[in-house]
Structure 1
Amino acid sequence: MAWRRERGDAAERRALAHLRRQGLRLLASNYQCRAGEIDLVMRDGAHLVFVEVRQRSNPRFGGALASVDAAKQRRLVATARHYLHTTGADAPARFDVVAIDAADTLQWIRDAFRADDAY
């Protein structure tokens, strides 16, 4: 299982480097609470961006993007609400997904889903 964590960490580092090149600024990584975990919390101009990084080496079950299902979205929204409440942040927010597929292609989906869509 350690290899999974190492692969996940490498995917998050790659996603972070890509997003920084696009001008986003890191605020927190691996933010955790009872509701779940958010891989990256970033700032993009005036927006807070909650980023889920997904990597799949086998597309058999729909690939990286498909793995951010409704249940995962609900956990991300709940965790983001905790972050906003805990930090007192008052800014527009969005949920992005960085998906890395079996061919090692990185895809950044801005505003991948809305908090209202998750419920």
Structure 2
Amino acid sequence: MQNKRQLGLYYEEKAHCFLCKQGLTFLAKNHGSQLGEIDLIMQDHACLVFIEVRYRKNELYGDAQSTVTKKKQSKVIQAAYNWMQQQQIDIETKEFRFDVFAITGDNYCWIKNAFDC
């Protein structure tokens, strides 16, 4: 049986492949800081996309997208600001968004602009 980290990496790779097929360009993955972690960082034309990947085996306790709490959103936002600062990207002028890629069982759900800052 896989541990949680291996399982997370597996589903992040599935999300990565799916999103590349949708025309997004891969930039980075698993960017972590003391503030939080971003699973995938991609580009959709001129827009930076910070993607939180969530997986649930089934809907017994709710679907995968319901696990992206306000607290988790805040951590992703802070980590995104940190990444943009490291890359010397001006957050005032650069277009960016936060997406959720949720996998519940065999069902994928890509939610564009799932939350904002």
- 2:97 aligns with 94
Aligned to 1:28: 28
- Structure 1 residue 60: Cα displacement: 3.0
Tell me, yes or no, if structure 1 residue 51 matches structure 2 residue 54: no
- 5+ unaligned residues in a row in structure 1: which ranges? none
In structure 2, how many angstroms separate the alpha carbons of the residues matched to 1:57 and 1:63? Answer: 9
Paired-residue identity, % = 40
Segments of 4+ moved more than 3 angstroms: none
* 1:7 pairs with 2:10: no
Instruction: Please give the per-residue CA displacement for 1:37-95, whole angstroms capped at 9, x wherever unaligned.
Output: 00000010000000000001132332210000100000011101101111112421000
- Structure 2 unaligned spans of 5+: none
Aligned residues: 114
Specify the code of the residue in structure 2 equivalent to 1:47: C
- In structure 2, the partner of 1:73 is 73
TM-score, length-normalised on structure 2? 0.92
Structure 1 SS opposite 2:3: helix
Greater helix content = 1
